[in-house]
Amino acid sequence: MHKQVVVIGGGIGGLTAGALLPKHDYVVPVLEASREWGGCAGKFQRHFYTFPVGATLGMGFESGGIHERINAYLGLKLKRFLLRKS
């Protein structure tokens, strides 16, 4: 029988829980109140314009960082690139 956890909130925390728990045989619906995923690290649209909400996720992807470890655990490979000044 499947175990179920309902996650309230599709910010980074809820999305991470929703990605990790199925690895342990949980069925995990993630419920999000707004139209966008990502919570305070998400974005919103007004007319033709897209605005970041404010938070970012830039740190934690370094070797041994929290996001790097979670991605490795999930078997995700992220493309990395450096922005260079011209």
Ligand X SMILES: Cc1cc2nc3c(=O)[nH]c(=O)nc-3n(C[C@H](O)[C@H](O)[C@H](O)COP(=O)(O)OP(=O)(O)OC[C@H]3O[C@@H](n4cnc5c(N)ncnc54)[C@H](O)[C@@H]3O)c2cc1C
Pairing mode, if any, of strands 26-27 and 3-4?
Answer: parallel
Q: Please report how close the Cβ of residue 40 comes to ligand X at its closest, in angstroms.
A: 4
User: Beta partners for 11?
Assistant: 38
- What is d(CA 16, CA 70) in angstroms, rounded to the nearest whole number? 8
Binding site for ligand X (CB under 6 A): 8-14, 31-34, 39-41, 54-60
Least distance (Å) between residue 35 CB and ligand X:
10
- CB of residue 52 vs ligand X: minimum separation in angstroms? 10
Give the residue from 3, 13, 77, 6 showing the smallest Cα distance to 39.
Answer: 13
Pick 27 or 31: Cβ nearer ligand X: 31
Return d(Cα 38, Cα 60) in angstroms, integer: 16
In the bound state with ligand X, the residue whose beta carbon lies nearer, of 1 and 42, is 42
Q: Please say which residue, 26 or 48, places its beta carbon nearer to ligand X.
A: 26
